[in-house]
């Protein structure tokens, strides 16, 4: 997250900056997920990634509502952290190899993305609470809960995929 590209004078400025960073991260994820879905071979993994693509689009819409409430634009930040995480996932997805091992790598990369998002959404949710924005905090908590659910689903799928990969 490019936190120090401008002088931050208050928590409100940091809040908007972090929201823009998350908006860019979600946009990057929306662009990257179709390739991961295509590279995945395990049906449950494909379905989980497809579902998360749908959820991610809803999360972007939720962020759009937040920006409208704040009377701010959602653009202006590039999430460098997400760019790096997605590059690692792309390297795994496009590298080829044993299908179950590639699936295990995709799960690992996807869980890193989820954990990064959970950290970001937990932070901005707390900022919203501190700034007296309970409705925005609730919207951000909803997204945080969805990210946690996605992580849990990936952990469940990994149980069988990792065993298959070990057998390869």
**Residues whose CB falls within 8 Å of the CB of residue 56, separated by 6 or more in sequence, listed in order:** 26, 29, 30, 33
Of residues 146 and 3, the one with the higher pLDDT is: 146
Which residues span the domain enclosing 53?
13-167
Residue 163 is predicted with a pLDDT of: 77
Residue 1 is predicted with a pLDDT of: 44
Residue 6 is predicted with a pLDDT of: 66
Mean pLDDT score of the chain: 94
Is 3 inside a domain boundary?
no
Is 84 inside a domain boundary?
yes
Which residue intervals of the chain are DSSP H helices? Answer: 11-39, 43-70, 80-95, 99-130, 134-167
Is 131 inside a domain boundary?
yes
Residue 125 is predicted with a pLDDT of: 98
Mean pLDDT of 65-89: 96
Residue 2 is predicted with a pLDDT of: 47
- What CATH number should be reported for the domain holding residue 147? 1.20.1260.10
Q: Indicate yes or no: pTM above 0.85.
A: yes
Residue 165 is predicted with a pLDDT of: 72
**Does position 43 have pLDDT exceeding 70, yes or no?**
yes
Is 2 inside a domain boundary?
no
Is 4 inside a domain boundary?
no
The tally of domains found in the chain comes to 1
Nearest to 138 by CA among 129, 146, 130, 147: 129
Is 47 inside a domain boundary?
yes
Is 6 inside a domain boundary?
no
**Does position 110 have pLDDT exceeding 60, yes or no?**
yes
Lowest mean pLDDT among 7-11, 55-59, 78-82, 162-166: 162-166
Mean pLDDT of 106-124: 97
- For residue 4, name the pLDDT band (cuts at 50, 70, 90): very low
Is 7 inside a domain boundary?
no
**Does position 21 have pLDDT exceeding 90, yes or no?**
yes
Please give the span between the terminal C-alpha atoms of the chain, in angstroms, as a whole number: 38
């Amino acid at each position: 997250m490019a936190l120090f590209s401008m002088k931050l004078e208050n928590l409100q400025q940091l809040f908007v900056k972090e929201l823009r960073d998350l908006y860019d991260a979600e946009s990057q994820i929306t662009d990257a997920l179709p390739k991961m879905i295509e590279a995945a071979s395990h049906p449950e993994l494909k379905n989980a990634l497809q579902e998360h693509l749908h959820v991610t689009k809803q999360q972007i819409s939720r962020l759009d509502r937040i920006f409208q409430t704040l009377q701010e634009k959602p653009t202006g930040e590039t999430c460098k952290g997400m760019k790096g995480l997605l590059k690692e996932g792309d390297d795994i997805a496009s590298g080829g190899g044993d299908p179950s091992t590639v699936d295990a790598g995709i799960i690992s990369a996807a869980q890193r993305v989820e954990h990064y998002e959970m950290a970001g959404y937990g932070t901005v949710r707390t900022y919203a609470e501190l700034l007296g924005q309970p409705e925005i905090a609730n919207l951000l908590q909803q997204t945080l809960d969805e990210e946690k659910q996605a992580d849990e689903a990936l952990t469940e799928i990994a149980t069988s995929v990792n065993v298959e990969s070990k057998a390869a």
